[in-house]
Structure formats: structure tokens, C-alpha cells
Amino acid sequence: MDMGRAAGTGLQGESDYESVADSDRFGKWRAIKLGRNDRAILIGATGCGKTTLARRLIEDAEKPYSVVYDPKGESISKDWPETGHVVFDDFQAIQASEERRLIYHPSVEEEHDRRAQDEFFRWVYHRQFTRLYVDEAYSLLGGSSPSHYFQACLSRGREKGISTVVSTQRPSRIPLITLSEAEHYFIFRLHWPADMQRVEEITRISAFDIPEQDYQFIYWSALTGKRTGKLRLKLSEA
């Protein structure tokens, strides 16, 4: 299907996924691509494909500046440098960097320091024209009231050219603001009933419809209220 934009989704690009069910209401899409200042949430259990999809959303030629907050320091910090991302574990060093695509792996002390976390997101907010990816929203401190500047990136970042992509395994345990500011939802396999319930409350996608296989997902648009059937990432093209 050769089209510049999938109807009702705000997504466009080269083919990165395929329909896996006749219920796909938008047909065979073209690749996932957010608007320059859009916000997305990736929801799913460990190993379901969130990080693979996140990488495609972040490595967007029309959004050449990106920052990844990677508290786990596992696959992202190890694999993403292959495509031009530069990893830092020192906050002063990343602030001074002129590289376009940055990954920040905070120390254990900084990861548990709310002031240090807020200072990081303050830097991102004032950097502007950046796509921010937070790998696991549950790692953010503050409970129902996370970092002031993280909230600013979500709610006021568009005016500064900031786009956000946030992933989470446990949507039932993260603040509502983290979910409610997103225009784009990508829903992968989930384990816990409470998480499925939270997804259904927001998107009306029931637990019976949520994908059960890894690398399958459903897309839901908060702008239109429309959703797709199950889609599968094409790993051979990664």
C-alpha cells in the first residue's frame, strides 16, 4: 500500500510492520513515524518489542536530535551506538556534548536522587528541538508527582520542539499525566490484570484484544479514538 499517511493515525514512512489480522482497520500500514513534536507511549511486558519500536521512533531523520534516559543501561546503551548514538554516564559531559543523538545512563546514586533526575529533564527541556525517550517510566521518582521538568517536557514541550516517547511495563503504576499527554499509544503483550484494566480504561481495548505474542502490537490514536488490529514488527528489516 503506497500512501504518505495512514488514515486517522498521523503515522507515515517506509514499511516496518505488517497486519496480522483481518481486523486491521487501516489496512497494511507504512512505517511508524511520529509528527515532529508528537508524544507516544509504549506499553508492554519485558521482551515484547517496545525497545525495537522505540529505536525506530527515535531514529527519525526529521527529528535529528534525541536524548535517551536509560537507567537500566542494558540493550540500549550496548546496541544503539551502532547507529550513531553516543552513551554518557556523566551529566556534565552530556551537557557539554555537541553530538546529536545522546544516551544517558545515570549512576545508581543519580537514579535515586530526585533533584538530579529533575536537573536532567530540565536540561532536556531547555535543549529544545529534541525527541526524548524514557526507557521505563516506572523508574522515575516522585510517584504520582514525577519530576517537574519531566512533566514540562510532556505538557509544554511541544512549544519548544520537544517530542516524547515513554515506555512502561506497568501502566497501572505510573502517574496518569505520563499516559494522558500522549497522542499515540502502542500496546504490546501484558501480564497483569491491573495493567490491562488501565489500558482498557484509556483506550477501550479489552484484555481479550491485547496481543499475546512478542513483537505484535495494537496502535490507538488518542486524537481520533481509532485503533488498528494486531500489527507485527518486521524484525528482518531492523
Give the separation between CA 139 and CA 113, rounded to whole angstroms.
Answer: 11
Q: What pLDDT does residue 140 have? A: 80
Q: What's residue 23's pLDDT? A: 35
- Residue 36's closest CA among 9, 11, 55, 19? 11
Task: Label the pairing between strands 231-233 and 216-221.
Answer: antiparallel
Residue ranges, the chain, pLDDT below 70: 1-32, 141-144, 235-238
Residue 76 and residue 202: Cα distance in Å, rounded? Answer: 29
Residue partners of 68: CB distance under 8 A and separation at least 6: 58, 76, 80, 85, 102, 103, 104, 132, 133, 135
- Distance between CA 94 and CA 89 in Å, rounded? 8
Beta partners for residue 227, in sequence order: 220
Where would I find the beta strands (DSSP E) of the chain?
17-19, 39-43, 66-69, 86-88, 101-104, 131-135, 163-168, 184-187, 216-221, 231-233
Measuring CA to CA, which residue among 129, 122, 116, 185 is closest to residue 150? 122
C-alpha grid cell, residue 188: 504490546
Check residue 142 and give its pLDDT: 56
* Residue 43 to residue 45: CA distance in whole angstroms: 7
- CB environment 7-42: b (16+ within 10 A), e (fewer): eebbbbbeebbebbeeebebeebbbbbbbebbbbbb
Cα–Cα nearest to 10, from 189, 193, 166, 163: 163
- Separation in Å, CA 133 to CA 39, 68, 200, 207, 212: 10, 5, 24, 26, 25
Q: What is the pLDDT of residue 103?
A: 96
